Copies of this chain bind each other. A is one copy, B any other.
Amino acid sequence: MYLETINGPEDVKKLDIGQLEQLAGEMREALLKRLSFHGGHFGPNFGMVEATIALHYVFDSPRDKFVFDVSHQSYCHKMLTGRREAYLEKEHYDDVSGYSDPSESQHDFFNIGHTSTSVSLASGLVKARDLKGDKENVIAIIGDGSLSGGEALEGIDFASELDSNFIILVNDNDMSIAENHGGLYKNLRALRESGGTCECNLFRAMGLDYVYLGEGNEIGKLIELFHRVKDIDHPIVVHINTIKGKGYVPAEKNKEDWHWCMPFDINTGAPAAAFEAEDYADLTCEFLLEKMKRDPMVTTVVAAVPTNIGFTEEKRREAGRQFVDVGIAEEHGIAFCSGIAKNGGKPVFATHSSFMQRTYDQLSQDLCVNRNPATILVNTASVYGMNDITHLGIYDIAMMSNIPNLVYLAPTNSEEYFAMLDWSIEQTEHPVAIRIPCNGVVHSKEIVDTDYSVLNRYQVVQKGSGTAVLALGDFFQLGEEVAAAISQKTGTSPTLINPRYITGLDEELLKRLTEDHAFVVTLEDGILNGGFGEKIARFYGSSNMKVFNYGLKKEFLDRYAVEDVMKDNHLTPDLILQDLGF
């Protein structure tokens, strides 16, 4: 087995083409085993095996610097740079993250997890290299799905202003997470079909030199190509055509489903565990499909992550022209929805909390300055969401809730969520964002309000005295526990409040609380800084009310256990009661 002998790129260089091809097979086998057990990004890594081998064969990492876009395709790079054990031995599977990480290896230069960043980051490496007078190669490796992102296009446009070595490897597999969207993909197809020769060329139109290779999974040809561009004295795009999921039949056949996988059975490709539980993705999809059927002006808009709200290929087809995937282009997505709403449409945009970060200015300028009534669904916005440092969903309250004119709602259960969503779609006054709960689908038998147009009216769920617990969104259930514990411990029933509105204060209610409450506890599923609780603390700042804010510390967490983070932040009934002195 060659893979076991690879301690670094120098060992890759010792092999001949035949041996490298064998190595590629071994790497795929290791990937398959690990992914079937552990889950992770499948298609992107299977497609890049040969290119990664060839890169390490030709270039001299870490002197030559690779920057992987999204870096969800960097597993093979990790295998070849001293981290093979994490792909060969079960007990080491968790030694590495799913993304590039400088703390793991000197062969990684950035923590990267969002798309479309590699060209800009790498161009900075180029600039500093030139200022120092160094001569190494800088190589950005970007998949075609990432090309539609504004940052990537800005970076590619800028790259031509650099007049020194810079290699932009475009890994074209004709796929984003789902199918690609946007006009540039027609050009990539024309380039593939003409073997890179067609005159109209996006990259040349952006001022860059260009070279093409159709056989992006052939090691020999890749090595030859990379030798040709190594030490080049100007920026060049190297466009290669690879097969996403290459080498595993189910993944080659069904590229979208195999972009990322849960643990599965290698023989059948079937998931190892069945998930029968209700989830908000499917529920949201069903709800929106129903709305769209009844009203042709309702439009669902996503940015390359359609299944996050349940829109599988089949459901997308069912929604027809009322469903739009703008590709990886959140900036465009939000401005597009503002335009739809301005012209009488009822747009619903959905993406991850972490990806909402790509569209702050559009939220502020295009949408909220203009007060257009678009609906935004923010998902995995929670400590219970994704736990990689680059995909955390705990910053959106701080980022979004301080933008004027936005109404940001935090439902506490399924019935309330869909009532809010329904209201938001039908109202015409405000841009509205809704934080989809992330602590499982909780049902309530209470009657929920259907009208949220009188803003910032909190709901008193339980009227008590002494202490008031304001439990926001999916920390409401924690709030119920805290309230119960207070009752039990003190014999006095506290007030329990569902604030519902993240973006404003129910000043009347808050004032009333001062009459028979001495303590206010706030709970929110996000960082405290810039969040909901601090506004409550400011409100009571000059009063006698004692305010205790609970939420998360401002920090970048990485691959955490939820339980640990909750304890660290005193987010348990016991610790909260201790703090209160009960």
Known: A121-B339, A124-B340, A154-B331. 7 other contacts (CB 8 A): A125-B343, A127-B340, A202-B202, A399-B402, A402-B554, A533-B538, A540-B541
In the A-B complex, list the 5 residue pairs whose CB atoms are closest, starting with the nearest: A124-B339, A150-B150, A183-B207, A160-B183, A120-B335
Cβ < 8 Å to B, chain A residues 282-332: 296-297, 299, 321-322, 324, 326-327, 329, 331-332
| Interface size band for A | 35 or more
Q: How far is the CA of A153 from the CA of B102 in the complex (A)?
A: 31
The answer to whether residues A128 and B534 also contact, given A120-B366, A150-B154, A329-B157 and a CB cut-off of 8 A, is no
A402: chain B residues within 8 A (beta carbon)? 395, 398-399, 527, 529-530, 554
Q: A135 in the interface, Cβ–Cβ < 8 Å? A: no
Cross-chain contact of A120 among B120, B182, B332, B554 (Cβ < 8 A): B332
The answer to whether residues A158 and B206 also contact, given A537-B534, A555-B404 and a CB cut-off of 8 A, is no
A-B contact pairs, 29 of them (CB 8 A): A109-B342, A111-B369, A114-B365, A120-B362, A122-B339, A124-B336, A124-B337, A124-B339, A124-B342, A127-B324, A128-B341, A128-B345, A132-B345, A148-B154, A153-B153, A154-B332, A161-B181, A182-B207, A183-B205, A186-B207, A187-B206, A202-B205, A357-B365, A364-B395, A369-B389, A404-B527, A534-B534, A540-B541, A543-B546
Q: Are B541 and A299 in contact (CB under 8 A)?
A: no
* Chain B minimum-CB-distance residue to A344: B128
Cβ < 8 Å to B, chain A residues 202-239: 202, 204-208
Cross-chain contact of A187 among B123, B154, B207, B358 (Cβ < 8 A): B207
Q: How far is the CA of A324 from the CA of B368 in the complex (A)?
A: 32
Q: How far is the CA of A8 from the CA of B129 in the complex (A)?
A: 58
Cβ < 8 Å to B, chain A residues 127-156: 127-132, 148-151, 153-156
Q: A243 in the interface, Cβ–Cβ < 8 Å? A: no
A278: chain B residues within 8 A (beta carbon)? none
A537: chain B residues within 8 A (beta carbon)? 534, 537-538, 540-541
* Chain B minimum-CB-distance residue to A132: B344
Q: Are A132 and B297 in contact (CB under 8 A)?
A: yes
Q: A117 in the interface, Cβ–Cβ < 8 Å? A: yes
Q: A13 in the interface, Cβ–Cβ < 8 Å? A: no
Q: Are A405 and B556 in contact (CB under 8 A)?
A: yes
Q: A411 in the interface, Cβ–Cβ < 8 Å? A: no
A555: chain B residues within 8 A (beta carbon)? 404
Q: A361 in the interface, Cβ–Cβ < 8 Å? A: yes
Q: A508 in the interface, Cβ–Cβ < 8 Å? A: no
Q: Are B530 and A541 in contact (CB under 8 A)?
A: no
Which A residues form the contact surface with B (CB < 8 A)? 65, 102, 109-114, 117, 120-132, 148-151, 153-161, 181-187, 199-202, 204-208, 296-297, 299, 321-322, 324, 326-327, 329, 331-332, 335-345, 347, 357-358, 360-362, 364-366, 368-370, 389-390, 395, 398-399, 401-405, 527-531, 533-535, 537-538, 540-543, 546-549, 554-556
Q: Are A541 and B535 in contact (CB under 8 A)?
A: no
Q: Are A404 and B335 in contact (CB under 8 A)?
A: no
Q: Are A160 and B132 in contact (CB under 8 A)?
A: no
The answer to whether residues A123 and B339 also contact, given A331-B150, A360-B360 and a CB cut-off of 8 A, is yes
Most chain B beta-carbon neighbours within 10 Å: one of A110, A153, A329 = A153
Q: Are A151 and B331 in contact (CB under 8 A)?
A: yes
Distance (whole angstroms) from the CB of A457 to the closest CB of chain B: 18
Q: Are A542 and B546 in contact (CB under 8 A)?
A: yes
Cross-chain contact of A181 among B158, B186, B534 (Cβ < 8 A): B158
* Chain B minimum-CB-distance residue to A133: B296
Distance (whole angstroms) from the CB of A117 to the closest CB of chain B: 5
A337: chain B residues within 8 A (beta carbon)? 124
Most chain B beta-carbon neighbours within 10 Å: one of A390, A534, A556 = A534
Q: How far is the CA of A364 from the CA of B122 in the complex (A)?
A: 17
Distance (whole angstroms) from the CB of A364 to the closest CB of chain B: 6
Cross-chain contact of A161 among B182, B335, B556 (Cβ < 8 A): B182
A122: chain B residues within 8 A (beta carbon)? 339
* Chain B minimum-CB-distance residue to A155: B332
A153: chain B residues within 8 A (beta carbon)? 150, 153-154, 157
